[in-house]
Amino acid sequence: MTSSLPRSHARRAGVQALYHALVNGQSPVPKDTLDFVSAENSAKMDQKYFTALVEGVSKEIIQLDSELTYAVDRSLLAVDPVEASVLRLAVYEFIYRPEIPYRVVLNEAVELAKAFGGEKGHKYVNGVLDKMGSKLRKVEYQAAKAQRMKKQAK
C-alpha cells in the first residue's frame, strides 16, 4: 500500500468498523470497534487516526452520502456495504484530510475493496473515487491525469 503502514492499518480497521455498524444498523463507536482489530494489528495501527476516521465518517455521514450521489450510479443503500464503507471513508479523507494525497486515498481505497469487497468491487470503488477526485481534488486529479497521459505517450 502507498501510505504509511500505521495509517493503512487504521483505514483497514476503520472500514471493518464502518461495515459492521452499517450491517447492524448502529453507529460505530471507536472504543467498541477496536474489538475488530486483533491485538497484533492494534499495535501496528495509528489508533488516533483510526478514531478520527470512524468518528469523522460517523459525524459527517449525511454530507459524505450527499457528495457520493455525484458519482454513485444507484442509491447508496443498493451499494454493497463493504464498498459503501470504503467509499465513505475515502470521501471523508478527500474532504477533511487534504494533507493526504489524492493518489494515496484512491490507492488505499482500491486495496481495501480488493481485500474485503466482492470480486469486481475494487473496480467500482476506483471508478466512483476517480469521479469524486475530479470534483473534490481538482488540482491533484488533473496533475495525476496529466502524469498518466504522459506515461501512456511514452
Q: How far apart are CA 33 and CA 134, in angstroms?
A: 32
The whole-number pLDDT of residue 121 equals: 94
pLDDT digits (tens, 9 = 90+) for 73-114: 999 989 999 999 999 999 999 999 999 999 999 999 999 999
CA neighbours closer than 13 Å in the CB half-sphere of residue 66: 5
Per-residue pLDDT of the chain in tens (154 residues, 90 and over written 9): 344 589 998 999 899 889 988 888 877 765 565 665 555 567 788 988 998 999 999 999 999 999 999 999 999 989 999 999 999 999 999 999 999 999 999 999 999 999 999 899 999 999 999 999 999 999 998 988 888 888 888 7
Per DSSP, 28 falls in state -
Q: State the CATH number of the domain containing residue 93.
A: 1.10.940.10
**Alpha carbon 17 to its chain's center:** 12
Whether 39 and 140 have beta carbons less than 8 Å apart is answered as: no
User: Which residues are CB-contacts of 68 (< 8 A; sequence separation ≥ 6)?
Assistant: 76, 87, 88, 91, 128, 132
Give how many domains the chain has, as a whole number: 1
Q: Which domain holds residue 137?
A: 5-153
